[in-house]
Structure 1
């Protein structure tokens, strides 16, 4: 079992793209299971400019983005039997959306697997993130 914290942080054309995901990955599990157990402080990040952390209730769009990123990363790495527990998602209202969280989750998954994805996969992932602010703020990513 490996625990990692990974961030996706970029600026492109003056726009910020940032999220931090912490997860634990157990390879060779009996089934593929992705569990979300975020328990951030609900009082934190209540004003613009503060770092927000996903709580047990709420932030469903960020949680769904993280799950989509993990599913994508496991598929790319050809790992079907892993147990992944997403423990922490952090970001800012102005810099973070579900696609960015998904990218951070994918990077964290690959780090935990000690897997190096092909550069073209990273490039496509970044392109999807950089176009994500043109979507609804809570749009769940469809990584491919």
Structure 2
């Protein structure tokens, strides 16, 4: 089953801002990198204008809905979660983005490490899966 990586408006705006700054970015990141047409588990590639953007998975984290919606009665909250097949603590994806302009690779967001629990901290493995030496 493929997981759909959804971006928020804030993430999209951040990506656009980072893409606008790429031409003035220092040339120390990586040497020229060819574009790829392959997607794999742990990352998803798409083109944004002249840029290749790779969404990298840093893992997932459980959302403690009862703590987030403290003013909502627990039974009503659980009923809403059940109606949407989300269980007691739905998981969300933690993502970072790697932007390739054909000459440089720029990592946007360095991930969470294990700050958000054992389901996170997977970003360190992503560059190797992409063929980028770590």
TM-score for both structures, normalised by structure 1: 0.26
Which structure dedicates a bigger proportion of its chain to helix? 1
Q: Which has the higher contact order (CA 8 A, sep 6+)?
A: 1
